[in-house]
Structure formats: C-alpha cells, structure tokens
Amino acid sequence: MELNQTAALIKNELRKFAQEVLLEKADELDKNRTFPEDSLQKLAEMGILGALLPEEYGGAELDTLSFILGLEELSKVCPSTAFIILIHNCLFSMPILKSNKSELKDRYLKPSATGEIIGGFTENHTNNIDSKKVSDKYIINGKNPFLFNGAARGPFIGLIPDSENLKLFIGTKEKSGIKISPNLRSLGLNAGGICEVQFNEYEITESEIIDEPGLLSEINSLVQLGLAAISLGIGEGATEYAVKYARERVQFGKSIINFGMVREKLAWCFTRIELIRALLYDTASNFNEKKKTGPAILKYYAGKSAVEITTRAIQVYGGYGYMKDYPVERYFRDAQMINVLFHTPIELEEEIVKNSIE
C-alpha cells in the first residue's frame, strides 16, 4: 500500500536509526541484559517517546499506522527497544491521557514525551497482590514478576484488584513500601527491562488512581497491533539474516540458498511476512479501537508466525542457529516472549471466537 508522507518519513527515519544506532549493540544489550537508556534518549529527541501524545504535551501526535511502522522497523534489529517504546506509549502515557485526571496529565505527560521519565506497566495476568481500602486510600501487599520497563526506575501503571473492576494506579519508587528487583532473567526481551515489583503496605491515594471502567479494554486493541508489528519485525529480521547466511554458506560447491529445502523454508517465511504486513497495514490505516476482532487476529497470527519463522531461520543455519554467536537465536527467544505476553494464543483464540460470533 502507498504510505502517507508522515508514515513514510517515520518508517525511513527509524529504519536508519535501527541500522546506524541499534544494530551494532543489539546482541550485546541482549547478552548483558542492559536497558538501552542512550538509545531511548535519542528516540526521545526524535519524538518517538511521545509518539501518540498531542502537541500540547510535547508529543508528535502520530497516526496509528506511523506508530506501527516505527515499531516494525525497530523490531527488525532490536525487539526489546520496540517493546519498551510500545509499553511507554500505549500502557503508560495513553491511560493517563485518556483519564479524567488533569493533575496526572500535567505531572507525567510532558516528561514522558521528552524522555525525562520512561513509564512502565505491570502485567495483569501475573498480578499477585491483595488490596484493602482504608478511608480514601488503598493499601496493597504482594508482588508482580512482570513490571515492564521496570529497569528505567520510573513511574508505572499498576492494577488494583477490585470486586467490581480493575482500577489503575500510578506507582513510584520514591514512596515507601515498594521494591523493584533487578532485571528478570526471562527467555527473551532481555534488554526490555522487565523486573519484579514487590509491595509491602504500599499506600495509594485517590489522586493516584485512574478509575474508569473499560479504559484498558479500549487501549488493548492498539497494544495488540503493536505486538503484531513487533512480531512482524522479528520475522523480517530473522529472515534477512537467514537469507544472508544461505547466500554465504557453501556446501558441495554452491551456496545453500540454491538447495530446494532451504528455498522451501525461505518461501514459507516470505509468504507469512507478506500476509501479516498487508493485514497489519490495512488494519492500522483504518484503526478503530472499538473493533476488537482485527487486532486480536493480528496478534494471534503474527505472534505464532514469528515463532515459526524464527524456527525456520534457525534451521537454515543448521547447528549454528542454536549458538549465541548468531542473532537468529535471539530473534527466536524474543518471538516466544511476544507470542505469550498479555494474551496467550489460547486466550486469543477464545477472544477471536467470542468477538466473531457476537
């Protein structure tokens, strides 16, 4: 499809950034589980940390397609960086922007856009906390092993289990009763700054609570599109490396890219990539957060496809594909993480059926 001027510019600029800034450090960041603070500050200067925020808060106010294209380009080189950008924009800044709390908007949105703070989010599925209401405050205890962007040590959005609905709150490390662990030793997204957060008699005041039923559900569709874009980028990056290796690897006097079995694997990868890209671009161009089936299908299909594409990329490498000296195993691990975060394939199957028959 033909991209609008803004979308084409974002795609080209972030492709250039990924190649010139991220490429040389992506493997090292993964190996050392290092949060890419320097890269994020450069992205902030490009307006990407305020990608979806209005100009009044210092944001770039990008359309959905432009944002999705940016995530795709970053993911081709460093999926962890793209994941950080997704969490910061969609699950920290966006809930605050959509809330009715003007004091929260004034306090957090401009620093969020400039990169002064990197916002985080706790995964609801792994929330293991108890809460009790005392007067106009909530007291929470427990832990959540998935605090995304936790390594940034910035404010984050957490969830209070409530009998009626999930309430959101803004958590900060400056208050007492909170402890954020070092990076979680997860399978993939090692540079994504995933940490565990523990609460011990942590107090949440009314001014820190976002109590608007359905807010996360509205944002969920955009998150699913973002995760699909990251899956697409992972598939593209892994396939590019597989093609490069197949051209250079010589067996029986010729490059293995000429072997039928290798060409069959690459053809499968190219086909899946084109299908995901076409569906993703179309859905993002006509994005409506109230239409949930399309984004759910994309997250489901792209996530599973990325796992299969990276598996085939490893097979092109043969035994070398399973060694950390080559980047395809990193793409494989990252694909596994993206495939199960927020909604597992089984949960998505149920969501897709439910939305399609109602």
Q: What is the CATH number of the domain that holds 61?
A: 1.10.540.10
Same structural domain, 60 and 149: no
Determine the distance from the C-alpha atom of residue 274 to the mean position of all C-alpha atoms in its chain, rounded to a whole number: 21
Same structural domain, 13 and 92: yes
Same structural domain, 98 and 141: no
Same structural domain, 352 and 229: yes
Q: Give the E-state strand segments of 46-151 in sequence order.
A: 120-122, 128-134, 137-148
Residue-level pLDDT at 146: 92
The CATH number linked to 247 is 1.20.140.10
Q: How many domains are there within the chain?
A: 3
Same structural domain, 251 and 349: yes
Q: Which of 48, 81, 114 is the last residue of a domain?
A: 114
Same structural domain, 264 and 235: yes
Residue-level pLDDT at 182: 81
Q: Spell out a b/e string for 57-93, using b for 16 or more CB atoms within 10 Å of the CB, else e.
A: bbbbebbbbbbbbbbbbbbbbbbbbbbbbbbbbbbbb
Please give the residue range of the domain that contains residue 238.
Answer: 215-357
Question: 3-state DSSP call for residue 251?
Answer: strand
Q: Which of 210, 229, 258 is the last residue of a domain?
A: 210
Same structural domain, 197 and 142: yes
Q: Which of 210, 231, 264 is the last residue of a domain?
A: 210
Q: Which two tokens stand for residue 257?
A: 């890219």
* Segment 314-351, tens digit of pLDDT: 999 998 888 888 999 999 999 999 999 988 898 899 98
Same structural domain, 223 and 340: yes
Same structural domain, 341 and 232: yes
Residue-level pLDDT at 319: 86
Q: Which two tokens stand for residue 189?
A: 């997204």
Same structural domain, 104 and 124: no
Neighbours of 197 (CB within 10 A): 23
* Segment 273-320, tens digit of pLDDT: 999 999 999 999 988 766 768 899 999 999 999 999 999 999 999 988
The CATH number linked to 147 is 2.40.110.10
Same structural domain, 219 and 205: no
Q: Using pLDDT thresholds of 50, 70 and 90, give the confidence band for residue 131.
A: confident
* Segment 14-73, tens digit of pLDDT: 999 999 999 999 999 999 999 999 999 999 999 999 999 999 999 999 999 999 999 999
Same structural domain, 155 and 247: no
Residue-level pLDDT at 129: 87
